[in-house]
Amino acid sequence: MSLHRRLIRILTACAAALLGAGALAQGADADHGKLLYNTWCAGCHGADPRQSQPHLAADNPGVLQDAISLVSQMAFLKTVLSSVDIGDIAAYIGSVATTGVPVLSPTPQTVDFSYQPVGTPSAPQTLLLTNLGSVALNITAITATPADFSVSGNCIGHRNPSSTCALSVVLNASAAGTLTGAVVVTFQESAAPMTVPLLGTGVLAPATPLPIVVEYFNPDLDHYFITADAGEQAFVDTGAVGRWLRTGNAFRAGGAAGVCRFYGNGATNPATGESFGPNSHFFTADPAECDGLKSAYVADAPSWRFEALDFSASQVAGAACAAGTVPVYRAYNNGAARGIDSNHRITTNRTSIAQVAARGWIDEGVAMCVPQ
């Protein structure tokens, strides 16, 4: 028998020993078994044995004895429990195993609205309630606190085993600041209601909408490009400047620092008849880096030409972004060393940076910070 199959049999025997219905030991004391179960078993198998592998069933002391002998995690019980004790535990499990238990489970475990403008209702978030137990339950009340959160849906009433219902939760922050709350679900079969934490932060909306920086990719060049200019975005989308495709990555601009935008020297190199280049854009919120590139510009050589302050952001404070902002990462294709036009990818999407880094790009870390 393979080790895998033997392990399955051992674990099955252990789980079976903690649940089920079979032949009870003669004269077994279920009350004493409950005490022993709570002392020695509940820490691993839960306070209610019906919630541990409910699809298995056995209350046979012999099976429990085998589990203690075979499962290393239970071996310590050999010197703790007598055969009478084992019979009592099996009797207790058998006394409750057939009664069924309702188990109400939420999905997700926490509802997080992140940042929401004050006075503007959020998009509804779905909260699913599922009865994972073996018997039906009856939901009698569902509330959300504090009043900034609201909940609606048709979950109150009888809920069969394996059934799921949906709630809709909305955040309408009344003031700026962090909000914590809960959806509270009361059901007859439990003395304690089920609570689902709610999180969110109210933020004051800016006087004017912040521009959205959109990322593009050109598969013919293997280059990335960003722009916050809505008019330029519409023009790029027409395809008039090449096969630039939206990647789906975008972030809000905003902050005290202007982001310098450079483009490779477009003057014609008389030796080649082509632009000095590079044929690429570069962005930085670092004033020193911006000034350095401006001063390094040479009209008749490959260099970067300053175009404009494209959008605003915040500088990185040390190695982190300030509260209320998120990092914008930058990766470099190492063009200078590879003999190709230099290009950078600039995005808040850490996974996107990891993807190009896996292709040999240099992860330059956090380049700037923008509003969350």
Tell me the DSSP string of 302-325: S-EEEEEEEEEEB--BTTBPPTTE
Topology annotation, domain 104-203: Immunoglobulin-like (2.60.40)
What are the residue ranges of helices labelled H in 46-186?
61-70, 83-97
Distances (CA, A) of 67 to 9, 11, 13, 14, 46: 10, 8, 6, 5, 17
Q: Counting beta carbons within 10 angstroms of the beta carbon of residue 323, is it exposed (0 to 12), middle (13 to 18) or buried (19 or more)?
A: exposed
Q: pTM above 0.85? A: no
Give the per-residue pLDDT at 33. Answer: 85
- Please tell me the number of Cα atoms within 13 Å of 223 on its side-chain side: 17
Spell out the residues 6+ positions from residue 228 whose beta carbon is closer than 8 angstroms to its own.
211, 212, 213, 214, 253, 310, 311
H or E segment at 117? strand 111-117
User: The tokens 């850490």 sit on which residue?
Assistant: 350
Strands 177-187 and 257-268: unpaired
For the chain, where do the domains classified as CATH 1.10.760 start and end?
A: 3-97
Give the per-residue pLDDT at 99. Answer: 66
Beta bridge partners of 153: 167
Reading the chain (372 residues) residue by residue, the pLDDT tens digits are 444 444 334 344 444 444 433 344 457 888 898 898 888 887 777 666 665 544 333 357 887 887 788 777 788 888 888 989 888 888 888 777 666 677 888 999 999 998 888 999 999 999 999 988 778 899 999 999 999 999 999 999 999 988 999 999 999 999 988 999 999 999 988 888 999 999 999 988 666 678 999 999 999 999 999 999 999 999 999 999 999 999 999 999 999 899 999 999 999 999 999 999 999 999 999 999 999 999 999 999 999 999 999 999 999 877 789 888 999 999 999 999 999 999 999 999 999 999 999 999 999 999 999 998
Q: Are 47 and 38 in contact (CB under 8 A)?
A: yes
Give the per-residue pLDDT at 148. Answer: 96
For the chain, where do the domains classified as CATH 2.60.40.10 start and end?
A: 104-203
Q: In angstroms, rounded to a whole number, what is the distance separating the alpha carbons of residues 336 and 177?
A: 46
Architecture of the domain spanning 3-97: Orthogonal Bundle (1.10)
**331 is written with which tokens?**
């990766």
